[in-house]
Amino acid sequence: MENLNVLEILAFIIAIIGLIVSVIFNFKSKQVDKDIERLIANSRINKDLEKFIKIRNSNLNNKRRIITHKEYYTLMNKLRGLTDKLDENEKKIFIRTLDSKSEKNKINYLKKLLYESQKDSSFKDFEVQK
């Protein structure tokens, strides 16, 4: 190889070190706990969670609760904060479900999860408003 000089060789060695570092730190197995901790630590989600709990505890007996798309997406984020109640496998399934399932399946899955985690029958009647 022509045009080699010491500076270039040194720079190339540093680049190889950088590549090794990048591979090690970016290809670690996905740490679901850290993702969830990060989401829970988000103060905006915690404030919304308080509001959400107030709404949930309001008098919704025997009424169908309609939520807008915005609330639905906010709800998804909040549920990520509730996943400390799930075990490792369930957490992974939950995260994958939110990212990949169809709208209908997502809603059904969320309803089921909310009902199971909160044991609150008012969650049975959530319906997303289009």
Partner 1 sequence: MKDNYQSFLASIALHQILPLMPLFIEFTYLGHVTDKSLTMTSAIYAFSIGVSSRSPATLGLCILIGILMSASYGAIEKYPKEGYPQFYNFLSFWLILVVFLIHLIERFRRHINENEDFLLIKKNK
* Site stretch for partner 1 (CB under 8 A), options 14-22, 40-48, 54-62, 105-113: 14-22
Please check whether residue 89 is in contact with residue 27, taking contact to mean a CB–CB distance below 8 angstroms: no
Contacts of 115 (CB under 8 A, 6+ apart): 121, 123, 124
Does 22 interact with partner 1 (rule: CB under 8 A)?
yes
Distances (CA, A) of 43 to 14, 50, 109: 39, 11, 26
Give the C-alpha separation, 93 to 110, whole Å: 12
Site for partner 1 in 43-82 (CB under 8 A): 73
Select from 10-18, 50-58, 81-89, 122-130 the region that touches partner 1 (CB under 8 A): 10-18
Q: Is 93 in the site for partner 1 (CB under 8 A)?
A: no
- Report, in Å, the least distance between residue 92 CB and partner 1: 13
Query: Which phi and psi (to 5°) does residue 38 adopt?
Result: -65, -40
Residue at token pair 């993702």: 35
Does position 18 bind partner 1 by CB under 8 A?
yes
Any contact of residue 102 with partner 1 (CB under 8 A)? Answer: no
User: In sequence order, what are the residues at sequence separation of 6 or more whose Cβ sits closer than 8 angstroms to the Cβ of residue 56?
Assistant: 118, 120, 122, 123
Q: Is 104 in the site for partner 1 (CB under 8 A)?
A: no
Binding segment toward partner 1, per CB under 8 A, in 24-32, 42-50, 53-61, 86-94: 24-32
Contact positions vs partner 1 (CB under 8 A): 1-5, 7-12, 14-19, 21-23, 25-27, 30, 35, 73, 99
